[in-house]
Amino acid sequence: MQQPRQDPFGWIDEEARRRERAGLVRVLRPREADVGGDGAPLDLAGNDYLGLTRHPEVISAAGAAAARWGAGATGSRLVTGTTALHTALECELARFCGFEAALVFSSGYAANLAAVTALAAHRDGLVVSDAANHASLVDGCRLSRAETAVVPHADPGAVRKTLAAHPGRRSLVVTDSVFSVDGDAAPLTALARVCREAGAALLVDDAHGLGVLGDGGRGAPHAAGLAGAADTVATVTLSKSLGSQGGAVLGPARVVEHLVNTARTFIFDTGLAPAAAGAALAALRLLEREPGRAARAREIAAALHEALTTAGLAVARPDAAVVSVRAPSPGAALRWAADCREAGLLVGCFRPPSVPDGVSRLRLTARADLTDRQVAAAVRTVLRTAPADVWATARSSVVHCAE
């Protein structure tokens, strides 16, 4: 075969070398199958906030769904990909969270792309987006081709100003309910007020709120009194608190009907696998039966925060189950997470470009099924493995906050 005159992928090696120099290389590491069993590492890296992904009822619902409906959905939701499980999940999810209707997608990412594009795609559309929003909302803004104004993080005043500068536009304000990087909550009540003043719609990505915030885990919009509001839409993932896979958009029935007819990630995507729908439905029913799981996840997050800050680390106050610990550099964060892993504790590691402010962090997940003893062991490991320069960073960020 004829050789190309120039290597068309040479630039990839160049980029790889740049990543290597900056300590930003990412590698896939298959995890052990039985995390949580005897001698297995303690998992504070996943998003299984309520400890439901390995719950026997959830696993058996997944198996039963696959046995009854097959391993895959076989087609898009509008063709053959809707089963009775999808419909039941949509009804129960909407009722539980307090919304009129729900629509299930193959992922939370797809749900966010759908919600933003279907609600903002208009030549007169304006999207006002928080600077710390999740990548899936950011991509939704890009795909919508609407004018997007990125506003400073958690700043309803900036949202008000932006909306006021564009009177008469079809406007959508988009925000995470709980931000994945620092675990802080959006000022939903103030944002809703600002939206109503300007006649804008509000879209809340409740990926980290469902199952953790609100009465019995009904989510952040429910806690803020926004569930079921005519101008509010929420998205959720089924892959965190509900221990499964998939996503959903919740909102007024006419919004859901609009999505069924226009959202490309709904129409052109194969439906969620029945096993995932069955597992999410079982997890939702469990959460309804055992509402204490939500409060327990919050309690554990508060305990982690208290212990780590008391010891002198810079830890953002968690508003839900995400506990974020600052690290001095991407390399230090990576080493710290590796040392934790070596010591039997799995923690997440956030580095650029996943962090909007360029600050690397360890990310610890509070899980409702952790015992107090496990929480204490996790704290000991994080402190014991903390690199020396982490303490310097922690001290300097305290000074910075005091200014």
> Does residue 248 contact residue 205 with C-beta atoms inside 8 Å?
no
State the alpha helices, DSSP H only, in 236-322. Answer: 253-262, 264-267, 274-289, 292-310
**C-alpha–C-alpha distance, residues 119 and 291, integer Å:** 33
| Of positions 239, 244, 324, 360, contacts ligand PMP by CB under 6 A | 239
Structure tokens at 381: 């490991």
In whole angstroms, the minimum distance from the beta carbon of 174 to ligand PMP comes to: 11
Under rule CB under 6 A, residue 129 binds ligand PMP = no
Q: Is 324 in the site for ligand PMP (CB under 6 A)?
A: no
In the block, residue with structure tokens 């830890």: 315
* Stretch touching ligand PMP by CB under 6 A, among 107-115, 150-158, 309-317, 318-326: 107-115
Q: Rounded to the nearest whole angstrom, what is the least distance from the CB of residue 137 to ligand PMP in the complex?
A: 7
Beta bridge partners of 349: 362
> CB under 6 A: which stretch of 70-78, 86-94, 202-210, 219-227 binds ligand PMP?
202-210
- Does the footprint of ligand PMP cover residue 86 (CB under 6 A)? no
End-to-end CA distance of the chain: 66
Candidate residues 83, 144, 180, 244; the one interacting with ligand PMP per rule CB under 6 A: 180
DSSP conformation letters of 15-45 = HHHHHHHHT------PPPTTTTSTTPPEEES
Q: Minimum distance between the CB of residue 349 and ligand PMP, rounded to whole angstroms?
A: 14
Contact segment (CB under 6 A) with ligand PMP among 10-18, 201-209, 303-311, 355-363 equals 201-209
The minimum distance between CB 111 and ligand PMP, in angstroms, equals 7
DSSP 185: B
Kindly state whether residue 130 participates in binding ligand PMP, applying the rule CB under 6 A. Answer: no
Cα(8)–Cα(6) distance, integer angstroms: 6
Nearer to ligand PMP, 148 or 239 (CB): 239
3-class SS at 47?
Answer: coil
Helices 274-289/84-97 angle, 10° precision:
30
Residue 219 binds ligand PMP, judged by CB under 6 A: no
Site for ligand PMP, rule CB under 6 A: 107-109, 112, 134, 136, 176, 180, 205, 207-208, 237, 239, 247
